[in-house]
Chains A and B, each alone.
Chain A
Amino acid sequence: MKLHKIFQSIALSICFAFLAMTFLLISTEDVSAKVRVVGSIPDFAAIAQEIGGDKVEVASLSKGYQDPHFVDAKPSLILVLNKADLLLYAGLELEIGWLPPLITGARNSKILRGNIGNLDCSTLIPRLLEVPITKVDRSLGDIHPGGNPHYWLDPRNGIAIAKGIAERLKEIDPENASYYDERLGDFVRRLSAKIKEWDEKLAPYKGTQIITYHKSWVYFSDWAGFEEVGFVEPKPGIPPSPSYVADLIRKIQQMNVKLVIEESFYSQKAPDLIAQKAGASLLVLPSEVGGRDGINTYSELFDAIVGEITSKLANHGKG
């Protein structure tokens, strides 16, 4: 009989179980009073930091210079989510390719849908753009059935996001509710003043015709009063073919396109060609906090975007 072998395998599995239990028992949860906030993109993390001050500890799953559609679902991110008290994400299927398996793997019921630690920031936005009103399918490209998810590029939405984050922080950490309220008021006051400043800077350029790479600037254009007359991508997520680029150039030559805007993670080849042919300037802009060195807050992001756009437009035609 090979009974000993059977016992051997049973003993082995018991050993495994014991090993696992030992590991679990020595894992002393480090009790930190701070609320752990994790943003899918750095913008949410940055706003949460401003509201939460020293009562929170924030982290971002992706980098500001990274395409938020295509983040690697690295297991290391599971560890970050495992300890999170509050997860902030853009929703509208922006992160659908990578966030769901991370949430499942995190083994953290706090951040599951429907729980207090799960905040889909798109639910805070008063007016979503490009919400399809007819049935959509993927022949239209990689579209988002819930609407365009790039809403953080309108600073007015930053106020709505901040308020939503403050509400959640107050629910999670009621002891510091007045602290969060105070910081929210302060943030809103500062951001409102800044928005006034940016509005004034952008005012002379209302109606400027621009082309963007991806449909990621619609909220920004809506705020700044820019007119988007074309996109480098023929359809969301589909890179341009040479014939499409030729068509686009033909189409915009009659127009007065002044800017071609794209994020740093997209190829610059086609946009550069389009800008040249259209007599426009190509601007590679940061689209998220951390999109460039020195952009560490939500305000600094718009300082950079508005600053670069207005200085480009002011110089446009002079050269």
Chain B
Amino acid sequence: MKMQESAGHHGITNINRRFIIFVFAFLLFSPDVHTEVWGDEKDDIKKQMQELRQQMESMQKKLEELEEKNRILEEETKKQKEGKEIEKAISEAAPPPPPGGGLRGLVQSLNPDISVIGTFAAAYFTTDNPISHAENDPQNTGINLQEIEVGFQAAVDPYFRLDSFFSFLRNEVEVEELYATTLSLPLNTQIRTGIMRSKFGRINLQHREVQDFVTLPLPVTSFLAEHLNPTGVEFNFLLPLPWFSELSASVNSSNGLETPTFAPSPDANNLGLLLYIAHLSNFFELSDALSLSLGGSFATGSNGTSSTNRSNLYGADLFLKYRPLKYSSSYQEVWLQSEFMYRQAETPEPEGNFNDWGGYVQAIYRFAKRWNTGVRFDFVNTNNNSFVPPPGEEGLFPARKELNYAAMLTFNPSEFSRIRLQYEFDDPSFRSNYSAVFLQFEYSIGAHGAHPF
């Protein structure tokens, strides 16, 4: 209809129309006309293609980016999972809340560590009147109570700890030690205050239960008595040296002391006649197995014979220990302990001043975990043998020449009990010599004490 109308309108024949259409088509599709009529279609397509390509490329890029992201994400989750597994392993190992009450509740208390140590000795002397050297040595043939020691030890607070030891005999009690130790003073300082076994030499710091023989060696009994334990304040400095070196200095009152060397001055308020004690202790680890300890001591103070007379006491101590660690049954060890003491004492006229000295050396061999054996030689001597103490009298007298030899064998059924057999030969210059045999029993209960080196 439309065609007819237009044909009618233009008045063109069918043939003509076809021709016109043909020409038109030819014109239209001829390259130049095409270009003129439609513009640069090819360029457009090219452009579009290019755009498409670009789009494709960007898409690909995005895809790659996405893939990368995905990969990273996956990796992260994997890592997280692993982390969680570790976390789980760690948290599984975390401690559960401590069970309250029960036995732990019983064990938990603020009571101090308590220990009781009983030491007895059966003794046989070849003489009717053996010399009583020290208070806690076996005194007579028969069964002797040497000492019952009761200890209470605990931290006072974050700043102090308190150690106390009471020595019981059948009818008397002595405060052997009761001292506080500072725990956190600056400059490597430690202060002890109270009644304490003074740092003079080595054996004076050893309680009976850690000593190696039933009896005390002669120089100790002659100069320090059972032990030197005045009331005082003691400063301990750790010296900044490559080895362990400790300097101790203390100011003490000799009130109540029962030692032959030091006693309170009748002029009680004289600062210069207090008891001053200094000790330097050095420890050298020569090898894993071999250790050496060397010390020097000095004490000076009133000896009680007048308001001005004083005693000076010098000491040197040595401890050598060999304990191979790398072999089976590493409980075998050998140690050597020795001390030498020299005393200067001022006494009133006519006797005047005197000097005396003494020493001991002991060697112990622990040949099995529970067994040890050892020997000791100890002696005292003086430059004033004419000074004879009145019989039965105690006090400051020169230690007259005396020699003592001892041998012992010890069996420790456990760390908490001990049986010790000892033979001793005492050879004084002022009376006939005699022998003694001791069988010592020692038991300890309560808190596990530490073993001092």
Which A residues form the contact surface with B (CB < 8 A)?
Answer: 1-2, 5-7, 9-10, 12-13, 16-17, 19-20, 23-24, 26-27, 63, 65-67, 70, 72-76, 78-79, 82, 93, 96-101, 104-105, 107, 109, 112-114, 123-126, 131-135, 138, 141-142, 145-146, 156-157, 159-160, 163, 184-185, 188-189, 192, 237-239, 264-268, 284
CB–CB B328/A75 < 8 A: no
A200–B102 Cα gap in the complex (Å)? Answer: 38
Given known A-B contacts A63-B288, A75-B244, A160 and B93 have beta carbons under 8 A apart: yes
- B67-105 contacts to A (CB < 8 Å): 82-83, 85-86, 89-90, 92-96, 98, 103
Query: Of B83, B107, B183, B244, which is within 8 A of A79 by CB?
Result: B244
CB–CB B285/A107 < 8 A: no
Q: Does B423 contact A (CB under 8 A)?
A: no
Across the interface, which residues of A come within 8 angstroms of B450, CB to CB?
A: 73, 96-101
Question: What 20 new A-B contacts, CB under 8 Å, besides A17-B249, A184-B90?
Answer: A7-B272, A10-B272, A12-B276, A13-B278, A24-B187, A27-B188, A27-B240, A65-B325, A65-B326, A76-B243, A79-B238, A79-B244, A82-B238, A113-B155, A125-B95, A131-B103, A145-B107, A189-B82, A192-B86, A237-B414
Q: Tally chain B residues at the interface, Cβ within 8 Å.
A: 73
Q: Does B308 contact A (CB under 8 A)?
A: yes
B312: nearest chain-A partner, CB-CB: A9
Query: Of A12, A72, A107, A284, which is within 8 A of B185 by CB?
Result: A107
Can you list, as one digit per residue, whether each of B41-63 has a CB less than 8 Å from chain A (1) or not (0)? 00000000000000000000000
Across the interface, which residues of B come within 8 angstroms of A96, CB to CB?
A: 448, 450
CB–CB A6/B283 < 8 A: no
CB–CB B328/A9 < 8 A: no
Query: Of A19, A142, A268, which is within 8 A of B415 by CB?
Result: A142
Count A/B pairs, Cβ under 8 Å. 186
CB–CB B184/A237 < 8 A: no
Q: Does B401 contact A (CB under 8 A)?
A: no
Given known A-B contacts A23-B237, A63-B288, A114-B158, A126 and B329 have beta carbons under 8 A apart: no
A268–B330 Cα gap in the complex (Å)? Answer: 12
| Distance in Å: Cβ of B326 to nearest Cβ of chain A | 6
CB–CB B414/A142 < 8 A: yes
A28: nearest chain-B partner, CB-CB: B240
Across the interface, which residues of B come within 8 angstroms of A265, CB to CB?
A: 325, 328-330
CB–CB B240/A2 < 8 A: no
Across the interface, which residues of A come within 8 angstroms of B285, CB to CB?
A: 74, 76
Query: Of A20, A100, A163, which is within 8 A of B90 by CB?
Result: A163
Q: Does B190 contact A (CB under 8 A)?
A: yes
CB–CB B86/A267 < 8 A: no
A148–B291 Cα gap in the complex (Å)? Answer: 31
Given known A-B contacts A66-B325, A264-B328, A2 and B308 have beta carbons under 8 A apart: yes
A63–B327 Cα gap in the complex (Å)? Answer: 12
Across the interface, which residues of B come within 8 angstroms of A70, CB to CB?
A: 331
CB–CB A82/B328 < 8 A: no
CB–CB A16/B83 < 8 A: no
Across the interface, which residues of B come within 8 angstroms of A63, CB to CB?
A: 288, 325
CB–CB A93/B448 < 8 A: yes
Can you list 21 pairs linking A and B with CB atoms under 8 Å apart?
A5-B272, A13-B249, A23-B239, A24-B187, A27-B240, A67-B331, A72-B453, A74-B283, A74-B285, A74-B453, A82-B238, A109-B158, A113-B155, A126-B93, A131-B103, A138-B445, A146-B107, A189-B86, A192-B86, A238-B414, A264-B328
3 closest A-B pairs by beta carbon, nearest first, are A6-B272, A27-B240, A109-B184
A191: nearest chain-B partner, CB-CB: B89
A135–B370 Cα gap in the complex (Å)? Answer: 27
CB–CB A20/B249 < 8 A: yes
Can you list, as one digit per residue, whether each of B132-160 has a CB less than 8 Å from chain A (1) or not (0)? 00000000000000000000000100100
Across the interface, which residues of A come within 8 angstroms of B188, CB to CB?
A: 24, 27, 82, 107
Across the interface, which residues of B come within 8 angstroms of A73, CB to CB?
A: 450-453
